[in-house]
Chain A
Amino acid sequence: MKKGYFGSYGGAFIPEILHETFQQLTAHYEAARNDPAFWAEYIALMENYSGRPTPLTFAANLSAKLNKKIYIKREDLNQTGAHKANNVMGQGLLVKRMGKTRVIAETGAGQHGVATATMAARMGFECTIYMGAVDVERQRPNVFWMQQLGAEVVPVTSGSQTLKDAVNEALRDWVGSMDNTHYVLGTACGAHPFPEMVSWFQSVIGSEAREQILKLEGRLPDRVYACVGGGSNAMGIFQGFLANKEVELIGVEAGGKGVHTSQHAARIASDDATDGVAQGYRTFFLQDKDGQMLDTHSVAAGLDYVGISPILADLHVQGRVRFIAANDSEVVAALKYLMKNEGLIAALESSHAVAGALGEMTDMADGSVVIINLSGRGDKDIFTVADALDDPGWKQFIAQKAKQYAGESS
């Protein structure tokens, strides 16, 4: 197989001006991957800075209600509250090796932007975050934190002004700034080596989960569920079990208002996506007959994206990973259910994995062992979650707060 390809997917479809930059990045990545000291440094940093290993929590109440053994991998306990930390800290160490001094990143909801800004603060890099102007409006709290952490946040006004446009804008920065700048791509997408490299950093999730479940249950799980936007948390946990065919791996995509409507972001679990090349890689994209990317929709901004990791595209074609979609309403119900029964506040993205798993419980024999990857926490996204729950008390509070601020400024 050609380097950087997974079946027919992946590759590096980049402007020539970036060719040498990708060569250099690939060389550094490969050297790091072959150097056990690099991984040891990475693990030590994640233990000390991000609280790894994260627990595999036994969901005792859910398990009793549903007659299964349900475990939850707690990526929500990472620094900045999501698995994104695994990727940015890994790339940060690589940036040091490359001797670069500035990092740029795209962000949708702001999670990856905040994670990158913390990494830049910790490691002493300059930091610029590209964020769709629409997202800047919607996700003010994350913009606030990025700025407090010392990052410059650039609102992107081109295209649909969301995540994919932020990716394009970050690439535009990079074609001029590559000498001192590294682009910290946030998910297992983009041109080679990003899909493979990001998956490698995220594989820490799967390695831990495998060891933990063997210790707790003495056997591998029957099923593993993860939500899939770009696909980095899913790649992270799936890698712990890929070699064991008896473990069923399920990716849950954003069904939005339903995969039969035009308002969703399900690439594999709908019939709408087709083979294409954009943003540097080949995969299944939600696009029209001319090859123009479509607008996507999800209650979870982090899953609201046109493409999917080329590695997952290939695992789908191979039949190794099964894909389903959870609709916005199922996701909100799952978020509430997990809060009430286990006291865990999942991010809306991660609640897709919970919804997907809950929806399939009746297909499984009693006593089946299930792992759900809880990729991030929801309490820090209080504005978004409160919107999704349509909470009247919260709205009243915000209206009052707005009045108070209006009074201060007049």
Chain B
Amino acid sequence: MEKLIRNTDKKILLMSHLVLGYPSMQANQEVIAAMVASGVDLMELQIPFSEPIADGPMIARANQSALDNGFKVREGLAFIAQTIKKHKIPFLIMTYYNILMAYGVEDFIKEAARIGVKGLIIPDLPPQEAGQAISWCQEHGGGSLDWIQLMTPTSSDARLAEIGSKASGFVYCVARKGVTGKKTDFGNELAQFIKRCRAATSLPLAVGFGVKSHQDVAQLANLAEIAVVGTAAIKIHEEHGAKAVGEFFAGLR
């Protein structure tokens, strides 16, 4: 994905996020189309899990609601395959490790590679546990399926270096402590943190957690290659529908 990300004249790329099956896959389809039409550059599709420990209350509820509506992983993967055929932008899967385990970790990675997924974000599989999964991504993805590493402000420089050494595609920088969806101060502290990330990797950086306005994105444009927008978009979809989500993204940059 690194080439794709570098090959742009936009000041910053936008990566959006949505929870599959919430409120329905039908609705997902509309939102994805609206996001792509309004210029979203990359998209994270989250496969729901019953124990989403790294997500905030909003996304956690979306996970549960999708499961209550009968979401199944195999149907979700089929939906992702269709989506990738329909839209040209890179799609990533975000989910938790148990979903891969239940499917068969290697089989899941093979399937992701086969349908053209560009990256996997698995927040509860830390680098020291992910060795095998990373080599399967390389083996089955032929260089086009990246295992996305996460860097956080609490990580020491040594830890960031370790993470950086295993990263490919881009690195997802968690802008602050806490879970998804809360307010982030995109000030000095963030700049300091991004500086530490740059020292640990030469890959493009995506910054997420709490990005929700034009002003946030403008500030990030000087710091990172990708701004990640998750909870804010879910909220707008809940309150105003798919069209409003498109307008929201169109106005972010």
Contacts and interface: CB of A to CB of B under 8 A. Distances in A.
Most chain A C-beta atoms within 10 Å of own C-beta, residue among B67, B98, B123, B155: B98
Interface string B146-177: 00001111111001000100000000001001
B53 A291 contact: no
A13 B97 contact: yes
Interface in B90-128: 96-99, 101-103, 123-126
Interface string A15-42: 1111111000000000000000000000
A20 B155 contact: yes
A287 to B, nearest CB: 7
B125 A13 contact: yes
A13 B154 contact: no
Contact of A291 (B61, B101, B126, B178): B101
Contacts of A289: 102
A11 B129 contact: yes
Contact of A16 (B56, B155, B179): B155
Contacts of B73: 290-291
A324 B24 CA distance: 42
Contacts of B64: 158-159
A168 B51 CA distance: 7
B152 A17 contact: yes
Contacts of A367: none
B126 A175 contact: no
Give the dominant DSSP class at B's interface: loop
B126 A158 contact: no
A306 to B, nearest CB: 9
A277 B98 contact: yes
A279 B53 CA distance: 7
Interface string A245-280: 000000000000000000000000000001111111
A164 B52 CA distance: 11
Given A158-B60, A175-B178, A19 B72 contact: no
Given A159-B60, A175-B177, A175-B178, A290 B99 contact: yes
A175 B64 CA distance: 21
Interface in A283-335: 285, 287, 289-293
B57 interface: yes
B50 A293 contact: yes
Contacts of A280: 53, 124
B231 to A, nearest CB: 13
B49 interface: yes
Most chain B C-beta atoms within 10 Å of own C-beta, residue among A11, A158, A285, A293: A158
B54 interface: yes
B179 A172 contact: yes
Given A277-B98, A290-B72, A13 B124 contact: yes
Contacts of B97: 13, 277
A14 interface: yes
Contacts of A88: none
Contacts of B98: 276-278, 285, 287, 291
Contact of B126 (A13, A276, A290, A292): A13
A171 interface: yes
B128 to A, nearest CB: 8
Most chain B C-beta atoms within 10 Å of own C-beta, residue among A16, A277, A292: A16
A7 interface: no
Nearest to B156: A20
A178 interface: yes
Contacts of B56: 172
Contact of B123 (A15, A159, A177, A275): A15
16 contacts: A11-B129, A12-B126, A13-B125, A15-B53, A16-B150, A168-B60, A172-B60, A175-B179, A277-B98, A277-B101, A278-B98, A280-B53, A280-B124, A290-B102, A291-B49, A291-B102
Given A159-B64, A176-B178, 15 more contacts: A13-B97, A13-B125, A16-B152, A16-B174, A17-B177, A20-B159, A168-B53, A168-B60, A172-B179, A175-B54, A176-B179, A277-B98, A278-B50, A278-B51, A291-B98
A-B pairs with lowest CB-CB distance, top 6: A291-B102, A176-B178, A17-B152, A291-B98, A15-B54, A292-B50
